[in-house]
């Protein structure tokens, strides 16, 4: 009995947040039975060599051990669960428009936000106060091959990325962010938040003639980090919230660049457990479906395929704890548009459709 009580105490401590914690009473019973069988005596004679008893003990451990020692958070296919209609957008409203509200923000470069920031007429999108909004955000007719029944999509393109009125002559980016946490709050990863969008890649002759990142599709996640601060002779542990932004980047290899024989685009995943990018699919012009999901163990799962059909398990590309972080909350998803900020060169004209957020419950 003492062994059973110790087992119960240990299991409570270890499995308080285990994904299969609802099975723990049954697991405890199995292991307790197995321990009790060690002292089982039948007719005053040690009967542990009985084939029946040995079979029962083996069965108990077969049931219990995988549950106790395996991370059982299954991958979630993006587009799974309950769609949050408060925060999605299908761009079917013909009156959809972008309201810029003056010069863009550039807090990342010069600490200037230039409020009020831009937003969409349906209040589902807002300008990033960190890097500012793309210069061209406009509803357009859905390109051929898009979602069935879709008549509207969103074209995103920029010219003057970075600080307004200043050409840095280097690659910079603008952001378009979906309003999510302000409408539904931060979403715990225990609810398996997942996102999906369709992206139209134009013919290569319409791409900015530059090798490098052209477009990003990312999610905003929160975790808790622990740092040690030293003051005089004392040290203290400080816990703080850390924001990070895993996702996809579309990188172009220009045939005018001596490193590449022909134009091509590749999908990069950011990132692995060290935060490094991982090369994934080779992309061709046309429609693509990309998605990400976050599970209760804090991992990010990346999915994608050509076309606009719903994602399935076979479209899984990669899974990781980006930067070594374990995600705790999901805030939103957003898009990056990149170009050479020289005052003359427009970014590649990407088109998105039906970006959506889902939760399992």
In-domain check, residue 77: no
Given a cut of 60, is residue 66 above it in pLDDT?
A: no
Asked whether the beta carbons of 282 and 264 are under 8 A apart, the reply is yes
Q: How confident is the model at residue 313 (pLDDT cuts 50, 70, 90)?
A: very high
CB 145 within 8 A of CB 308: yes
Q: State how far the alpha carbon of 294 is from the alpha carbons of 179, 207, 354, in Å.
A: 19, 32, 20
Res. 46 pLDDT band, cuts 50 70 90: very low
- Whether 214 and 256 map to the same domain: the answer is yes
Same domain, 110 and 235: yes
- Integer Rg of the chain from CA: 26
Q: Are residues 110 and 254 in the same domain?
A: yes
Is the peptide bond preceding residue 271 cis, with omega within 30 degrees of 0?
yes
Same domain, 10 and 144: no
Residues 59 and 189 in one domain: no
Distance spanning both ends of the chain, measured CA to CA = 39
Asked if residue 276 is part of any domain, the answer here is yes
Q: Which residues contact 2 (CB under 8 A, 6 or more apart)?
A: none
Note whether 20 and 168 are same-domain residues.
no
C-beta pairs of 35-44 under 8 Å, 24+ apart in sequence: 35/3, 35/4, 35/7, 36/4
Q: Is the dihedral of CA 125, 332, 250, 305 positive or negative?
A: negative
Mean pLDDT value across residues 336-344: 97
Mean pLDDT of the chain: 86
Residue that is last in its domain, among 47, 69, 91? 69
Could you tell me what percent of the chain has a pLDDT over 70?
80
Q: Are residues 86 and 65 in the same domain?
A: no
Query: Both 53 and 175 in a single domain?
Result: no
Q: Which of 48, 69, 90 is the last residue of a domain?
A: 69
Please state the domain count of the chain. 2
Q: Which two tokens stand for residue 107?
A: 């807090």
Digit-coded pLDDT (tens) for 75-117: 899 999 999 999 999 999 999 999 999 999 999 999 999 999 9
Instruction: Indicate if the alpha-carbon torsion angle 276, 334, 75, 309 is positive or negative.
Output: negative
Count of CB atoms situated within 10 Å of the CB of 124: 18
Structure-derived torsion over alpha carbons of residues 196, 201, 207, 210, reported in degrees to the nearest 10: 50
Lowest-pLDDT choice from 42-51, 90-99, 187-196, 278-287: 42-51
User: What pLDDT is stored for residue 19 in this prediction?
Assistant: 38
Q: Residue 57 has what pLDDT? A: 54
Q: Is there a single domain that holds both residue 173 and residue 315?
A: yes
> Has residue 324 been placed in a domain?
yes
In CATH, what number is assigned to the domain containing residue 173? Answer: 2.60.120
277 occurs within a structural domain: yes
Q: Does residue 279 surpass a pLDDT of 60?
A: yes
* Residue 347 belongs to a domain: yes
Regarding whether 270 and 176 lie in a shared domain, the answer is yes
Is residue 340 in a domain?
Answer: yes
Domain limits at 138? 82-359
Question: Is residue 319 domain-shared with residue 179, that is, in the same domain?
Answer: yes
- CA count, 13 A, side-chain hemisphere, 57: 15
Residue 121 has, within 13 A of its CA and on its CB side, a CA count of 11
Of 165 and 51, the one with more pLDDT: 165
**Any domain includes 75:** no
Domain boundary among 14, 43, 69: 69
User: Could you tell me if residue 76 is inside a domain?
Assistant: no
Question: What CA–CA distance (Å, rounded) separates 308 from 259?
Answer: 32
- Indicate if 35 and 103 belong to the same structural domain: no
């Amino acid at each position: 009995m003492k062994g059973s009580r110790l087992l119960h105490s240990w299991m409570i401590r270890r499995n308080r947040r285990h994904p299969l914690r609802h099975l723990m009473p049954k697991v405890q019973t199995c292991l307790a039975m197995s321990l009790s069988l060690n002292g089982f005596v039948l007719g005053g004679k040690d009967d542990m060599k009985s084939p029946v008893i040995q079979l029962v003990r083996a069965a108990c451990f077969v049931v219990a051990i995988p549950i106790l020692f395996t991370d059982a958070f299954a991958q979630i296919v993006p587009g799974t669960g309950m769609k949050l209609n408060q925060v999605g957008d299908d761009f079917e409203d013909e009156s959809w428009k972008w309201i810029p509200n003056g010069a863009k923000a550039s807090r990342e470069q010069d600490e200037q936000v230039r409020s009020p920031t831009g937003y969409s007429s349906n209040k589902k999108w807002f300008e990033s106060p960190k890097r500012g909004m793309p210069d061209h955000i406009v509803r357009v007719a859905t390109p051929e091959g898009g979602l069935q029944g879709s008549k509207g999509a969103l074209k995103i393109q920029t010219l003057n990325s970075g600080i307004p009125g200043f050409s840095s002559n280097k690659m910079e980016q603008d952001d378009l962010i979906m309003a999510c946490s302000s409408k539904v709050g931060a979403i715990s990863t225990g609810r398996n938040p997942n996102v999906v969008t369709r992206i139209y890649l134009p013919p290569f002759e319409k791409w900015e003639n530059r090798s490098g990142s052209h477009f990003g599709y990312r999610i905003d996640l929160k975790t808790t980090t622990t740092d040690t601060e030293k003051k005089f002779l004392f040290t203290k542990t400080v816990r703080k919230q850390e924001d990070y932004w895993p996702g996809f980047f579309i990188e172009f290899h220009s045939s005018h660049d001596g490193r590449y024989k022909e134009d091509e685009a590749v999908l990069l995943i950011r990132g692995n457990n060290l935060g490094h990018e991982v090369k994934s699919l080779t992309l061709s012009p046309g429609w693509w479906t990309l998605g990400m999901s976050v599970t209760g163990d804090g991992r990010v799962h990346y999915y994608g395929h050509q076309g606009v059909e719903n994602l399935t398990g076979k479209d899984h590309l990669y899974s990781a704890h980006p930067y070594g972080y374990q995600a705790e909350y999901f805030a939103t998803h957003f898009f990056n548009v990149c170009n050479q900020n020289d005052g003359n060169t427009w970014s590649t004209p990407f088109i998105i459709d039906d970006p959506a957020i889902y939760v399992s419950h």
